[in-house]
Structure 1
Amino acid sequence: MKKLYFSFAFLFFLTSSWAQKTELKLNLNVDETYIQKTESTMSIAQNVQGMEMDIDMNLTGELSYLVKSFQDGVYDMEVQYKSMEMNMVMPQGNEMNIKSGDESNPMSKIFTNFCNVPFNLKMTQYGRIQEISGFDKIYEKVFEELPGMSSQQLAQMKDQVSGTFGEESLRSNLEMTIAIYPNQKVDEGDTWNVESELTSVMNVNVNSKYTYMGSDEAHHKITGNATLSSNPDAFEMNGMSVKSDLNGSIKSEILVDKTTGWVYEAKISQVIEGATIMEGNPQMPEGMRIPMKIKSEMVFSGQ
């Protein structure tokens, strides 16, 4: 009898332990719209040929995600920028303020044209982005009405805008906050790894380790620690071949809605140090190495 009691008790323990495990993934509803708001502050300290060229930047924006369909674990979404704003303090104290909907600032027209143009995104329940399509419609609208600019100036402007707000930048930013879910159920204290790439204005590989910290009545709590290292491949920026020699870290605190799995709030701190290397070209035969340090604080919210 004692052995039988022990067997039932052991079985109950195993069943209870399994039942306590939590599945973290997206559970979105078709035909519903989900919002992601972003607020970020960034400081860039760089030395260009012996001159300190510091930049301070504040970015805010809002994206909407309309779930069109769900099949085989993949969401098909219609995504739109709803608002965008950038405040920048350049070297020598020059300031720039660009805001969608601001008719008094010609540069703001770029941000205005970015907004309310739908494109499509396919995302798995675990936050991995499979495909972004239709983004070219935004560029057609953004650059079709910029009078007084030559084709060369438009090309340079497109490179600069796409580096910060383009398709690859969008993919990187989304995966930083949404590609956080483990492929298996977890207990409090369990950890898992996610590898990704940051490709906004540089190529950096990101190896993230997330920990499930438990939950309250409304949210699951996740913390993250990530290391960043340069991708050795060169990329093109303003018509030049560029490499990055950068390393850094990211710390994140994330609240996930228990019902939908959508990120309710994510606080992310990032530090990157190293250099950007301009490879030799006819205009700059010896190339250039630009030491830099980047610090940023970001808050993403789905409220």
Structure 2
Amino acid sequence: MELTLNNGVTMPAIGLGVFQSAPEQTTAAVEAALATGYRHIDTAAAYGNEREVGDGIRRSGLNRSEVFIETKVWVSDYGYDHTLHAWDKATGKLGVDYLDLLILHQPAPDRFEKTMAAYKALEALLADRRVRAIGVSNFMPHHLTQLLDATDVVPAVNQIELHPYFTQPDVQAADAEHGILTQAWSPIGGITFYPGWGEERRNVMEDPVIGAIAATQGKSPAQVMLRWHLQQGRSAIPKSTNPARIAENFDVFDFELSTDELAAIDALDSGNRNGPDPDQARPERFAMVIPEA
């Protein structure tokens, strides 16, 4: 299943996420995902595993053009020239000469001038065909408004925390208004255990409503949640390093949730964020230096 971005580029709806995947596990996870049928891998400079993602893609034996590669620029590389160089670092580690999707990892509102300069660098990379699409991550509606007022290219994607316990309807609406695809990180609630964030650590995988739907459908809770994303038009990037789970998360194209089932999942939204607040400055974290390729 593919989704068409606002510039006409198509992207597989389900991708493998590698957030918090140890480098030594990432290559095998990517290789397993591509053998299963995935054709979309999502990584980031800040994850420290772009090189291993590239190794996994090469080990798969697939042509570069068959795999949609998405990565993210970290805040310490914001600013026009720094962001152009961030492309050099990312492509060098991944071992490729272009990226399918390059996005800004955080809005970083405490230095938003640099964020806007970084986005203008993404626009230049797009014009030079060094990337096929550009976007943002963790941008709230007010961040999008500021960005759109100062730049020319509407982001193709906004990747945000989105799972049944936190659906961010205001962000989804803002994305839809501007023709931006909403992409879910933590799509099955795995980051309900994000270190140091979130008071309420309920595991959405154990939710009785989702469990009941899963039993009815003969699917797992994770598969139900991923199907919920797909039927509502979102991209989802579930993370796993377990080959069986990787395969399970891709086996979501042979069933359909009813309108009532979709509504029951929507009703689980608690409004409680589990990852970092995009409006909160994190100077120490933002200062993390991304190594050269």
Higher helix residue share: 2
Higher strand residue share: 1
Q: By the TM > 0.5 criterion, same fold? A: no
Structure of higher RCO (CA pairs closer than 8 Å, 6+ residues apart)? 2
Normalising by the smaller structure, the TM-score range is under 0.3
Q: What TM-score do the two structures reach when normalised by structure 2? A: 0.26
Q: What TM-score do the two structures reach when normalised by structure 1? A: 0.26
